[in-house]
Amino acid sequence: MVAIEFEQEQQPEPEITPEEREKIERDDAEFTKVMNKVSDANSKLNSELRDSKKSDASEIYKEAERVNRELAQGRQEYENGMREIERTNRRTERQQDNKNKDNEKGNERAKVDGMVTIEYDLPGRHDVYLHRPTYTCQYGGRVVIGITVNRNGKVVDARVVSATSSPDDCTQRMALQSAQASTFNASQTSPDKQKGTITYTFMAQ
Domain ranges of the chain: 19-111, 116-202
State in Å, rounded, how far the first CA of the chain is from the last one.
185
Cα→Cα distances 191→98, 153, 205, Å: 21, 11, 40
Q: Does domain 116-202 have CATH number 3.30.2420.10?
A: yes
Q: Using CA atoms, how far apart are residues 97 and 125, in angstroms rounded to an integer?
A: 14
Cα→Cα distances 108→102, 120, 129, 195, 200, Å: 10, 10, 16, 19, 16
**29-71 pLDDT, tens digit each:** 666 665 666 566 556 666 665 665 555 667 777 777 787 787 7
- The DSSP letter of residue 146 is E
Is residue 139 within 8 A of residue 165, CB to CB? The reply is: yes
Model-wide pTM > 0.85: no
**150-188 pLDDT, tens digit each:** 999 999 999 999 888 666 688 888 899 999 999 999 999
Q: Using CA atoms, how far apart are residues 169 and 157, in angstroms rounded to an integer?
A: 19
